Amino acid sequence: MPDDPGNRNLGPLYRRHRSELLAYLTRRVNCRETANDLLQDAFIRLMNSELAQIGNIRAFLYRIANNLSIDHARRNRVRGVNDDHELDTLTGDADPQNSAIAGNTLEHLQRLIDGLPSPTREVFLLARVEQLSYKEIAARLGIDARAVERHLNKAMAHCTAVLQATESR
């Protein structure tokens, strides 16, 4: 049965494409939980799109999923240390130089986070420190998932701008 782009009920579309999109996103981001979050975001974006103007919904969903996975990879690069082994290496007390670098990095990260406006900072910390999903953050803060996404995009843009300014010095 072909997808009906005029139908606003996404349940059948979700059931039809969920497993293949989840497998695709899991391969792209190497984390099933993150892939689930991105899958939710993909369907939110689909829901907010003009479905009647979309010729091939499956292809459109894959385009959204691909873009979300690229955005996710970019955010991870901006975050810097995203691996426990790297963090252990930075904070290991065997080498005073590494300890100094770790201290400077943590101070820089704290200043960077402190520079975010209050709601954006809270969303950023819930997402990146507590690693809550968009849905969990939205429920905790009483906002919708799109607002969570906007706050995270704002936080990432802020971090990118500060890092670029630091690199250009």
Tokens of 81: 């240390």
| Alpha-helical regions (H) of 6-144 | 11-29, 32-47, 57-79, 84-91, 96-114, 118-128, 134-141
Q: Rounded mean pLDDT of 26-48? A: 88
Confidence of residue 70 (pLDDT cuts 50, 70, 90): confident
Q: What is the pLDDT of residue 99?
A: 46
pLDDT recorded at residue 25 = 92
Half-sphere exposure of 66 (CA within 13 A, CB side): 6
Q: What is the dihedral of CA 138, 150, 108, 140, to 10 degrees?
A: -10
The CA distance from 158 to 55, in Å, is 36
The class that CATH gives domain 80-167 is: mainly alpha
Q: Which of 115, 102, 105, 118 is nearest to 79 (CA)?
A: 105
What is the rounded average pLDDT of the residues 50-55?
A: 80
Q: How confident is the model at residue 9 (pLDDT cuts 50, 70, 90)?
A: low
Average pLDDT value for the chain = 76
- For 119, counting Cβ atoms within 10 Å of its Cβ (0-12 exposed, 13-18 middle, 19+ buried), the class is middle
pTM above 0.85, yes or no: no
Residue 85 CA to residue 49 CA, distance in Å, equals 41
pLDDT tens sequence across 114-152:
788 888 888 888 887 778 888 889 998 899 989 998 988
